Amino acid sequence: MKLCYSLILFLFVRSAVGIGITRRLRRLDETQTDTPSFPISKPGECLSIANLICSTGGFETLCSMIEQFGLKDKLSDGSWTIFAPTNDAFTFTNMVLSDKMKGMTFDDLSESDTEKILLYHLVEGEARMSDNLECKGLTKMANGITSRTKCAGGAKYQKGTGNDIISTYPMLAAGMSDISACNGSLIHVLTAIMIPGGIIDEGDSRDSHDNSSHDDPDEDEIEDKTGDDGADHDNHDHELPTAINQIVSTAETYIYCTSESGCDDPADYATACDIKEAEEFSIVHGYLTSASGQYGKSYGDDGFFVDDGTGGIFVTTSDSNDVGELKVGTYVKVKGGTTMCLYGTLALNGGTVEAMPDEKSSSMHVTPPIIVFSPKQIGQFEKPPFIPNFSGKVVNSCNCLDPESYTGGRLITVRGSMIGNLFDDGEWGWKVFLDDGSNGIGQVFIDGASDSYVQEIADTLLVEGTDLCVTGNVAQFAGVGWEILPRTKDDIQRC
């Protein structure tokens, strides 16, 4: 079985500007990670959709539903397409709909409603590739009800008739579509649950028949801000958000010469953020993958990273937009944020941040992808770093001033052995370097705003040769390249 797990790769297209070079990022969705998230079939073995779902961490809720309604064997026979919500997709949808469900969760639904929801994620007799999901097109699901594909902001959503709140539209997770199973069946991973009408509160009652002529307004209607009176109204809450990977693809970085006598060697250049045409985005949705202020020393800002399933981006905060301390997992809407570069990291600045009601006391459990990355997949160094007590060569230092990363902005886990000594970077924090022998080294940066635990583990974990698993957000810094930023002590573990 061939399994393609795509991530976002950004290539830099250069054009000369004075003594500097401006680079525009371009998406490329053809990069495989070294370790797939789903198990690969052995020779002569055929893994069904159910086999794959139930043997992969993060899908326990969906697996239990498949087993509850006796579908494991049926899903091994013939072709199927499943839109597969993760555990967090269930948690997230519960959280968004908490008011509408009046304290209930999906666990409280009747058996018949639960089965209807499960079947609403299945297409029988057809393996439908994500490219064949046409925008505004209808797909008949295994419970007899149709769902609709919606496209906005560079992302695809598979919307149920009961997904009548924009933020619950299930997005096809970036790089997690078209996963092959037995008999040509396919898995598309979702970030939320597809809800049939009539299941929750006063949901759409049209689920008893084909809804081909009664779907919700299309994208043009959603984004039309003109009211019946002809006035222009703020319609943010009725817009589909811009996908973060589309925002990232607009970024530019400026390269400049650091020597007054001119630069003949690439190592004489450095990078700085220089967004030539800052763009404002009316609305971005996502959940926090870092808490407010965890990277305060790195950015001089109490902002946070937010991820929408297509990508991650740093969001700045300000005194005029005091949302308090937000936890990891908080679901937020960022309205009117403008792109900027913050010490090398692309960020959204100046937007209004709105956390969901009760978010400050309740948040979803956010976990990194269900794969472990090599340290080199953090990304390239802009120049060879100084690693105390290490004399080896850093082969993924490109000296090319356009360091690439497959994982920029995302929350990931990397595994590698610590090389050299712990490096004290003064008030800014600490540096740790990892290598797993796969021809590339990764840098871990522990921010000075949340490094109180370092002395506790300096002599036990943060020593040369320790096999470490580190979780954190991946970010680029001017003059350095790409780093992974752990958030707390729990993000650094012995593997």
Neighbours of 56 (CB within 10 A): 21
Architecture of domain 37-222: Roll (2.30)
What mean pLDDT is predicted for residues 180-185? 88
Q: Residue 462, SS3?
A: coil
Question: Where residue 6 falls among pLDDT bands split at 50, 70, 90?
Answer: very low
Structure tokens at 272: 């700085």
What mean pLDDT is predicted for residues 399-426? 87
β-strands 80-85, 186-190 pairing: parallel
Architecture of domain 375-494: Beta Barrel (2.40)
Nearby residues of 80 by Cβ (< 8 Å), 6 or more positions away: 49, 122, 123, 124, 125, 126, 127, 181, 183, 185, 186
Nearby residues of 151 by Cβ (< 8 Å), 6 or more positions away: 135, 136, 157, 219
Nearby residues of 264 by Cβ (< 8 Å), 6 or more positions away: none
What mean pLDDT is predicted for residues 68-88? 91
Q: What percent of the chain has pLDDT over 70?
A: 72
Domain residue ranges in the chain: 37-222, 375-494
Separation between Cα atoms, residue 476 and residue 23, nearest integer Å: 15
pLDDT tens sequence across 133-144: 999 999 999 999
pLDDT at 266: 62
pLDDT at 320: 59
What mean pLDDT is predicted for residues 457-465? 95
DSSP character string of 95-127: HHTTTTTTT--GGGS-HHHHHHHHHTTEEET--
Residue 98 scores a pLDDT above 70: no
pLDDT at 359: 42
Question: Where residue 217 falls among pLDDT bands split at 50, 70, 90?
Answer: very low
Q: Residue 335, SS3?
A: strand
Separation between Cα atoms, residue 279 and residue 227, nearest integer Å: 25
* Alpha-carbon distance values, 99 to 8, 11, 247 (Å): 35, 44, 31
Separation between Cα atoms, residue 55 and residue 38, nearest integer Å: 8
What mean pLDDT is predicted for residues 223-227? 33
Residue 120 scores a pLDDT above 70: yes
Structure tokens at 237: 């809450």
3-state helix, strand, coil in the chain (%, to 5): 20, 30, 50
pLDDT tens sequence across 344-371: 898 999 889 988 765 444 555 666 665 6
Q: What angle do CA 480, 482, 483 make, to 5 degrees?
A: 100
β-strands 345-349, 312-315 pairing: parallel
Alpha carbon 134 to chain centroid, angstroms: 23
Question: Where residue 297 falls among pLDDT bands split at 50, 70, 90?
Answer: very high
Helix (H) or strand (E) segment spanning residue 314: strand 312-315
What does pLDDT average to over the chain?
A: 77
Separation between Cα atoms, residue 227 and residue 235, nearest integer Å: 9
Q: What backbone phi and psi angles, to 5 degrees, belong to 237?
A: -70, -10
pLDDT at 80: 95
Q: What backbone phi and psi angles, to 5 degrees, belong to 6?
A: -90, 145
Between these two residues, 23 and 423, which has the higher pLDDT value?
Answer: 423
pLDDT tens sequence across 47-74: 889 999 998 888 999 999 999 999 999 9
Q: What is the largest CA-CA distance in the chain?
A: 76
Ranges 33-37, 199-203, 335-339, 354-358: which has the least confidence: 33-37
